[in-house]
Structure 1
Amino acid sequence: MKLRISLLLSGLLATAAAWAADTPFERCISLSATNPAAALKQVQDELPQQKDAAAIAGLRLCRGHALLLSGKREQAVDEFQFAVSEAERLRDNSLLAAALLLRGEQRGYDGQYADAIADLKRGYELMVQRGDVLNQNYALNAIANLYADSNVKDYEQALQYYRKLLIAHLAKGAEQDTATTYFNIASTLEKMEQLPAAQEQFEQALAIDHKRNVGSDIAYDERALAVVLSKRGQHEAALRLLDHALQQYRSDQDEEGVATVQLSRGAALRRAGRNAAALADLDAARTYFQQHDNLRYLDKIYEELGLAQAGNGNWHEAYIARGEQMRVKQALEKQLLDERSSRLRVQFHTEQAQRNNASLASALEAADTIRRWQYAALVLSLLAIAALGVMMKRQIAQARRMRDLALTDELTRLPNRRHFLELAHTALAQAQRDHTPLAFAALDIDHFKRINDTYGHAVGDVVLQRISHAARVALRPGDVIGRIGGEEFLVLLRGTTLEQAMGAAERIRAAVAEVDCRDQAPELKPSISIGVAAYDALAGTLELICKRADDALYRAKANGRNRVEAALA
């Protein structure tokens, strides 16, 4: 569920106004929120005329914001970095706060969560020092949104911040911000699978927006509430809300809103057992998001298409949809990796060009005779050869680092999600071809959030590393364990029946039970829960096998944790 971010514009404008009245930055940031192209043109026109360092930094910060809204995230990062560095050099805390908040949100979007939280918290502290309550709330909302991210999953901390914001907005009578915060609380509760509580909070947001009579916000709330109602089995009520939201978006000529509601309505129809009707909506949503190359939405669309086709008995089409979903997931991961590696390549080549140019200039200045020219040429040739050697060595090392980044989890040194899924797909194809058994185990560290909250994330990282090592040692040669995310792991067991896999899982559980963490905390005794599933004709795709293992894992947790459960037949 997507969070509402209506606080963004008010926060940035307040920061701009607090920095200086009617400055180029203030005019530009106001324009960039509604017309990024016009803001970029304004920066292009005004920047060459500026002599003041603070004004230049402010305009470049605004250009970063406009680039971000235009989808040019990599270029935006350079502008944010420049603004932060200049604000620190100039000791301009107002500009620094704005730059940190924008860079923090950018880093969060790019998955650099630790850096993002550091930026946002530092920006928040600057707002507290200045007594700027409005922008404190903006920064607090940005931090809460980051904690509520499905990759961070610190939902309790996010809810704590949202509820603090809710009290402030209710006290001020700020209806729009109150509705937004109710919505974000509901979205976070939905991610926690607390659907009745999520429904109540969405209804609060919708009631306020009905009072405000803002059609686009009402439609946004209706779609979100309908998704929760659909998940709770209240299909007719969900479809009525989605139909009304769709009507509003069509009236507004909001094509993305229409496509988003069609995705949600397709999913709701699928849950209601109306698979044929669901396919029409899902195909319409797919057409729009394919045109705009939106991989995040296409991931969900292909998941729903696979389920709807399977519900209709179209197993071949369901298989194709699942394959497309995996292709999209791989493209998403590659997109993020390519963005990061591209920045490294640009930085590397720029530094090398600067060094080579400086060396050449120095040689030319020193050459005042033919002999010296020849000597300089010889020296430069040797330097060039040496530089090429250094460049090749660094490029090889960089390529190895990038390959390691692409395939390995940095903390545990296990295969990451992308690498593990590639190995798993290969193993499954071989098992299907050779008619050999294959099993998977889903692992989760018991009460890991409590470990982090009680002892700190540094201790949590040590626990992750030691459990990863113990599990890897307990496996046979040829078996693979990968870190899928957070405290979640998957194990690939080749040539293994369900009964044999249960034995292997018990060995892993026992090995983890022997892990010694007393040097971190005397009472710390980590354990894991495991769910096991084997490949068979009824669960013929990797997704279905892993889901059965995951369901068994949840039963293991429900039955007391520190145990192994097999998937139900």
Structure 2
Amino acid sequence: MRDRPGDQLAARGGRLLARAVLALAASGLLTPWVGNARAADRPAWQAEVDAAMQDDPRTTMADLQARLQATQAASDRFWTLLALARTQNQLEQSADAVATTQQAAEALRADTSASASQRLWLELAQLQVGWTLATPADAQARLRALQPRVAAQTDPHLRCEFTELELALLLDIQSLDEAWLAAEAVERCGRATGSVEREAGGILSLGQLVRKGRGSNLGEADTLFQRAEQVLGNRPARQLRSIIAWDHGITLGQGQRWDAALARLREAQSLSRDIGDSAGVAAASTEMAQLHLQRDQPALALPLLAESRRLLADTDGGYRLPTVARAELQALARLKRPEALAAIDRARRWDTDTLPAQERARLVRAMAEAYASQGRFAQAWAEVQRSDALLEAGRRQATDVQVNRLQARYATAQREAENAALRHRSETAQLALEAQSARQRALWAAIGTLGLGLAAVLAWGWRAFAQRRQLADLALRDELTGQPNRRAVTAYAQAQFGQARKLGVPLSVAMIDLDHFKQVNDSLGHAGGDAVLRALVAAARSVLRGQDRLGRWGGEEWLLVMPGTSVAELPAVFERLRAQFAATPAVGVTGPHGCSFSMGGAEMRADTPSLDALVAEADRQLYQAKADGRDCLRS
């Protein structure tokens, strides 16, 4: 199970990264078998099979199936079926895994000595094998319902299993900060339970998170992947090693170290072939195709993607095939092949709510590119708008999850403080029965303790409130430039639209788009492109008025809201901003950046029905400016 390869300009999707985490949590059996399972406890042999599964899960699955044929005891069948389901899930046989957990549930009902711990193991397994078939919101709700019951258990293996599942679901919705804490907890779990594979898996997850933007640089990710391999020592762990090599290859590709990246991916492909892991071979082929797309070699990418589609045809690759479909759309669009329309029809299969919003947005954006390559611009524009809406929905969901988790932590701390106060009052009452003097001393001690407890609760509450305010501010700011994001600038524009309509004062908006920005990224690199975006923001801050608001609309597009400005004043605004942008250096880029931008402006009139109509007119003028040769204003 591997992280979904994605567009290097955007955060990679979390669903396959999440499946990689669950692969490390999967359990199975070894032959000869070690002891028999007790009804209430995880069998001892499951610790041994954790290592075997990370080497050759297909052989482990065969052992489990043979074991299942030979046993009749309900408890033994339950644990065997549970391990078999996880093995099938690791091999991406999702439908088989779901059916096997249903059999495990039947075996548990037949076991009269079944415990609460066993029922929790079953529910965790059902969520592990079935969460990709549910919406992210439903999966998060089921996880939250399990948390207090798991917390009441003392089995460290059960708690580690829950933590790994929690990490997978946080990765699925791109909640990277919370996922980082969970990954560190998984690494600690591995050390505490003596599982080298689990410890290496936690380190691997940290490396994946650094690569996805949680850490400081790609060199840190390199170090983490090497550390994961060092932790494994001389253990074979071929599948786990293939995942590490595969993810290391992605990281090297992000750093444009193409030859080293391809070498690591071929190593991952070879290890996967050794153990008959067709999904692993497909994952490596897909990522090699992504590297070719980054190097503008779409013709070399298509055969690799065809191989991936063939290898995944007999599996339940519902979380990998969308990536293959997206890459095929991008390759066909760049080659302007008519087969792009048929590829769009195939990709519609994955355009559903079960795909995380951010991954679905990237798939829809690829459909837009394919439509545009065939001259169907109206359909392309509709898909671009839908992609933007999905990205916004994904950001809102990740923010909501973080806020809910902070609220839960605060509520837990508050309950603990209240319980401590109750215990102290009880002790005080007991002391009061012994002697009057002791009662007086205990009373003052209780008052002091209660005051400290209240102060602690208030301090914790204030920190939680401050964190929530910070999260809210982050949700309204573009992380790269610090400017208002699309949601924030839209809200400001809507308020100014209503004010201008009420007071009868002018209001103009302008859409700004950097010219040939893809060429800027190709020539200066993504870091250079980011520096150019920041240079535009710096120029705008120096020439715009205090009431003017520039917000990032998406990619290299910006919305400029100008209260009190008529359309006749727009040429002067354009020329000031144009001259200042040309003179503003892009930090880290040697010499002038040489970039320009196009602007389309529109003024609110008496018959303008809404802000959306005003922005649409500015967008139409922007397209006219681009059609007229760019580096100009049309209004």
Match for residue 477 of structure 1?
A: 546
Matched AA of 1:264: A
Match for residue 52 of structure 2?
A: none
Tell me, in whole angstroms, the C-alpha distance in 2 between the residues paired with 1:175 and 1:139: 17
Q: Which residues of 2 match residues 305-320 of structure 1 at below 5 A?
A: 305-320=367-382
Alpha-carbon distance change, 244 to 37 in structure 1, aligned in 2, over 3 angstroms: closer
Match for residue 281 of structure 2?
A: 218
Match for residue 500 of structure 1?
A: 576
Match for residue 300 of structure 1?
A: 362
Tell me, in whole angstroms, the C-alpha distance in 2 between the residues paired with 1:57 and 1:291: 27
Alpha-carbon distance change, 80 to 67 in structure 1, aligned in 2, over 3 angstroms: farther
Matched AA of 2:300: A
Alpha-carbon distance change, 16 to 530 in structure 1, aligned in 2, over 3 angstroms: farther
Q: Quick one: which of 197, 200, 205 aligns to 2:260?
A: 197
Secondary structure of the 2:264 match is helix
- The alignment's TM-score, normalised by the length of structure 2, stands at 0.55
Tell me, in whole angstroms, the C-alpha distance in 2 between the residues paired with 1:153 and 1:427: 39
Secondary structure of the 2:351 match is helix
Return the offset for 1:237. Answer: 2.8
Secondary structure of the 1:183 match is helix
Match for residue 31 of structure 1?
A: 85
Q: Quick one: which of 461, 465, 476 aligns to 1:408?
A: 476
Return the offset for 1:335. Answer: 4.7
Q: Quick one: which of 180, 183, 200 aligns to 1:120?
A: 183
Tell me, in whole angstroms, the C-alpha distance in 2 between the residues paired with 1:418 and 1:68: 30
Tell me, in whole angstroms, the C-alpha distance in 2 between the residues paired with 1:499 and 1:18: 74
Tell me, in whole angstroms, the C-alpha distance in 1 between the residues paired with 2:213 and 2:290: 17
202-211 or 250-259: which moved more?
A: 250-259
Match for residue 348 of structure 2?
A: 286
Alpha-carbon distance change, 425 to 99 in structure 1, aligned in 2, over 3 angstroms: same
Alpha-carbon distance change, 328 to 317 in structure 1, aligned in 2, over 3 angstroms: same
Match for residue 560 of structure 1?
A: none
Tell me, in whole angstroms, the C-alpha distance in 1 between the residues paired with 2:395 and 2:277: 37
Return the offset for 1:492. Answer: 3.8
Tell me, in whole angstroms, the C-alpha distance in 2 between the residues paired with 1:116 and 1:255: 23
Secondary structure of the 2:545 match is coil
Match for residue 436 of structure 2?
A: none
Secondary structure of the 1:180 match is helix
Q: Which residues of 2 match residues 127-276 of structure 1 at below 5 A?
A: 127-149=190-212, 154-167=217-230, 171-250=234-313, 260-271=323-334, 273-276=335-338
Secondary structure of the 1:477 match is coil
Alpha-carbon distance change, 270 to 409 in structure 1, aligned in 2, over 3 angstroms: closer
Q: Which residues of 2 match residues 371-382 of structure 1 at below 5 A?
A: none
Secondary structure of the 1:500 match is helix
> Do the aligned residues in 2 keep the contact of 1:266 with 1:280 (CA within 8 Å)?
no
187-196 or 113-122: which moved more?
A: 187-196
Tell me, in whole angstroms, the C-alpha distance in 2 between the residues paired with 1:482 and 1:327: 17
Matched AA of 1:320: A
> Do the aligned residues in 1 keep the contact of 2:201 with 2:228 (CA within 8 Å)?
no
Tell me, in whole angstroms, the C-alpha distance in 2 between the residues paired with 1:40 and 1:280: 37
Match for residue 11 of structure 1?
A: 25
Alpha-carbon distance change, 103 to 309 in structure 1, aligned in 2, over 3 angstroms: closer
Match for residue 457 of structure 1?
A: none
Q: Quick one: which of 366, 373, 392 aligns to 1:330?
A: 392
| Runs of 5+ unmatched residues, structure 1 | 349-396, 443-448, 450-467, 513-528, 549-565
Return the offset for 1:205. Answer: 2.0
Alpha-carbon distance change, 250 to 402 in structure 1, aligned in 2, over 3 angstroms: same
Match for residue 357 of structure 1?
A: none
Tell me, in whole angstroms, the C-alpha distance in 2 between the residues paired with 1:408 and 1:508: 26
> Do the aligned residues in 1 keep the contact of 2:512 with 2:558 (CA within 8 Å)?
no
Tell me, in whole angstroms, the C-alpha distance in 1 between the residues paired with 2:152 and 2:281: 42
Q: Deviations over 1:197-221 (max 9, x none)?
A: 3333222222333444443332332
Tell me, in whole angstroms, the C-alpha distance in 2 between the residues paired with 1:50 and 1:473: 74
Tell me, in whole angstroms, the C-alpha distance in 2 between the residues paired with 1:493 and 1:504: 18
> Do the aligned residues in 1 keep the contact of 2:177 with 2:214 (CA within 8 Å)?
no
Return the offset for 1:254. Answer: 5.6
Alpha-carbon distance change, 157 to 81 in structure 1, aligned in 2, over 3 angstroms: farther
Matched AA of 2:162: A
Match for residue 524 of structure 1?
A: none
Tell me, in whole angstroms, the C-alpha distance in 1 between the residues paired with 2:321 and 2:130: 26
Alpha-carbon distance change, 344 to 480 in structure 1, aligned in 2, over 3 angstroms: same
Tell me, in whole angstroms, the C-alpha distance in 1 between the residues paired with 2:284 and 2:268: 7
Alpha-carbon distance change, 66 to 255 in structure 1, aligned in 2, over 3 angstroms: closer
Return the offset for 1:299. Answer: 1.9
Tell me, in whole angstroms, the C-alpha distance in 2 between the residues paired with 1:83 and 1:506: 61
Match for residue 161 of structure 2?
A: 98
Return the offset for 1:140. Answer: 1.6
Alpha-carbon distance change, 250 to 127 in structure 1, aligned in 2, over 3 angstroms: closer
Q: Deviations over 1:167-206 (max 9, x none)?
A: 5558433332222211111223334444443333222222
- How many residue pairs are counted as aligned between the two chains? 459
Alpha-carbon distance change, 483 to 37 in structure 1, aligned in 2, over 3 angstroms: farther
> Do the aligned residues in 1 keep the contact of 2:344 with 2:367 (CA within 8 Å)?
yes
Tell me, in whole angstroms, the C-alpha distance in 1 between the residues paired with 2:287 and 2:495: 38
> Do the aligned residues in 2 keep the contact of 1:28 with 1:43 (CA within 8 Å)?
no
Secondary structure of the 2:546 match is coil
- Give the number of the structure whose alpha-carbon radius of gyration is greater: 2
Alpha-carbon distance change, 144 to 30 in structure 1, aligned in 2, over 3 angstroms: farther
Match for residue 535 of structure 1?
A: 599
> Do the aligned residues in 1 keep the contact of 2:511 with 2:558 (CA within 8 Å)?
no
| Larger RCO, structures 1/2 (Cα 8 Å, 6+ apart) | 2
